[in-house]
Structure 1
Amino acid sequence: MPTSVLVAYGTTNGSTAQIAEAVADVLRKEGLIADLLPARSVVDVTPYGAVVVGSGLYAGRWHRDARRFVSRHGRQLAERPLWFFSSGPLDASASERDIPPVRGVRRAVTRLDARGHVTFGGCLEAGAKGRIARSIVRNGKGGDFRNFPEIEEWAARIAAELLDEEKMD
């Protein structure tokens, strides 16, 4: 039976959810079972053979829902293949170079022995929730900097790794 993967995410305006959806879609296309859920709605991770957790970055921190998810399920996350992604830079920097995880995520990567972390460009457009977000857009600093081919390549590497491990079992 194919590995079942949970793709959980924390988001305010939905752009990180779209990244998580792209990740889940690739995992499914590669032959894995992938469930896509907001981090706040996940009750149990034990049914999953692997987990991908993503969050938008807000003032240098992950979304509260994603932070709470990692804290609440830490023991179970440490027992299975785990990957993290962040989304946030409102420029092309994430496509130009590797951006390390923010401090709290870096600690979680180490503590939970995650297999990797990547930072993708973010998206902040008209209609964004929050005073600061609206101000950023109003001042012309918003936009969509997500690179979906890059996101899909990253997800395909995760799928390949999990499928290779399935063959060895």
Structure 2
Amino acid sequence: MTRKVLVVYATKMGATAGIATAIGDELRNGGHEVEVCEVGGAGPVAKYDAVIIGSAIYLRRWRPEAVDFLRKHVHELRDRQVWLFHSGPIGPDKDQAQAMPRNVARLARKIGATPATTFAGRLEQDTAKGFLAKRIARGNLAEDSRDWVRIAAWANEISAAISGPLQRSSDGFLSADHSDGASCVPQQTLADGTEQQAGNSTTPA
């Protein structure tokens, strides 16, 4: 079944935008109508069946515009399927899950969204912004660590999940019917939203 999907993102150096675009492409390949845009350019949430929200994560913080989007649209998002992701880790910790910031975790619980999935980020001299990022980009941590195969697999799981009939749970949240065995459970997440230390290997993507 074709669904209307909104993929919104907040980025600093373009890496999260690239991930959002790749997710949108996979969803379109799955037969869905998809709009991909920055959080500030999103139209009315009410016209979409599902919403995917992504943000760069840096020093345990989401981009403020992404947090504002969640806060502004809490009520509309409660009536839709919602997935979250954040990107940023590079270097030895690039595959380590980053917990949602406390403010994002609180909003996710209000919305009924699963914990954010972590995707590795990108740090390159040409796109680095800010003193710290530019300094790190001159070292051996500079690389594009985004795992496009994993990103595509995650998007395809969402595509399969939203293709089924929607059901409302006892707590009022919408979810897909997974009676056929399909599921869409984000990997590498910390479900309790507890913060963990994000070291110098996490960059504002």
Shift of 1:91: 2.5
> In structure 2, what residue type is equivalent to 1:109?
A
Instruction: Name the residue aligned to 1:102.
Output: 101
> In structure 1, what residue type is equivalent to 2:80?
R
In 1, distance between residues paired with 2:161 and 2:148?
20
> In structure 1, what residue type is equivalent to 2:73?
H
Structure 2 counterpart SS, 1:46: helix
Instruction: Name the residue aligned to 1:113.
Output: 112
In 2, distance between residues paired with 1:72 and 1:129?
28
> In structure 1, what residue type is equivalent to 2:108?
V
Shift of 1:98: 4.3
Instruction: Name the residue aligned to 2:62.
Output: 62
Q: Measured at CA, do residues 8 and 133 of structure 1 come closer, stay the same or move farther in structure 2, by a change above 3 Å? A: same
Instruction: Name the residue aligned to 2:26.
Output: 26
Structure 2: which 5+ runs fail to align? 167-175, 178-205
Structure 1 counterpart SS, 2:46: coil
Instruction: Name the residue aligned to 1:76.
Output: 76
Instruction: Name the residue aligned to 1:6.
Output: 6
Shift of 1:142: 2.9
> In structure 2, what residue type is equivalent to 1:105?
V
**Greater relative CO, 1 or 2 (CA 8 Å, sep 6+):** 2
Structure 1 stretch 4-13 or stretch 158-167: which is displaced more? 158-167
Q: TM-score, normalised by structure 2?
A: 0.75
Q: Measured at CA, do residues 64 and 141 of structure 1 come closer, stay the same or move farther in structure 2, by a change above 3 Å? A: same
> In structure 2, what residue type is equivalent to 1:152?
A
Structure 1 stretch 151-160 or stretch 84-93: which is displaced more? 84-93
Instruction: Name the residue aligned to 1:162.
Output: 162
Structure 1: which 5+ runs fail to align? none
Q: TM-score, normalised by structure 1?
A: 0.90
C-alpha distance after superposition, 1:127-148 (max 9, x if no partner):
2122221122124333211101
Shift of 1:13: 0.8
C-alpha distance after superposition, 1:65-124 (max 9, x if no partner):
2111111111111110000000011135453x5443232322222121013420000111
In 2, distance between residues paired with 1:55 and 1:98?
14
Q: Measured at CA, do residues 98 and 132 of structure 1 come closer, stay the same or move farther in structure 2, by a change above 3 Å? A: closer
Structure 1 counterpart SS, 2:45: coil
Q: Measured at CA, do residues 99 and 57 of structure 1 come closer, stay the same or move farther in structure 2, by a change above 3 Å? A: closer
Q: How many percent of aligned residue pairs carry the same amino acid?
A: 34
Q: CA RMSD in A?
A: 1.9
Task: Decide whether the 8 Å contact of 1:92 with 1:121 is kept in 2.
Answer: no
Task: Decide whether the 8 Å contact of 1:101 with 1:119 is kept in 2.
Answer: no
User: Which aligned runs of 4 or more in structure 1 are off by greater than 4 angstroms?
Assistant: none
In 1, distance between residues paired with 2:141 and 2:39?
28
Structure 1 counterpart SS, 2:153: helix
Task: Decide whether the 8 Å contact of 1:22 with 1:151 is kept in 2.
Answer: yes
Structure 1 stretch 148-157 or stretch 134-143: which is displaced more? 134-143
> In structure 2, what residue type is equivalent to 1:15?
A
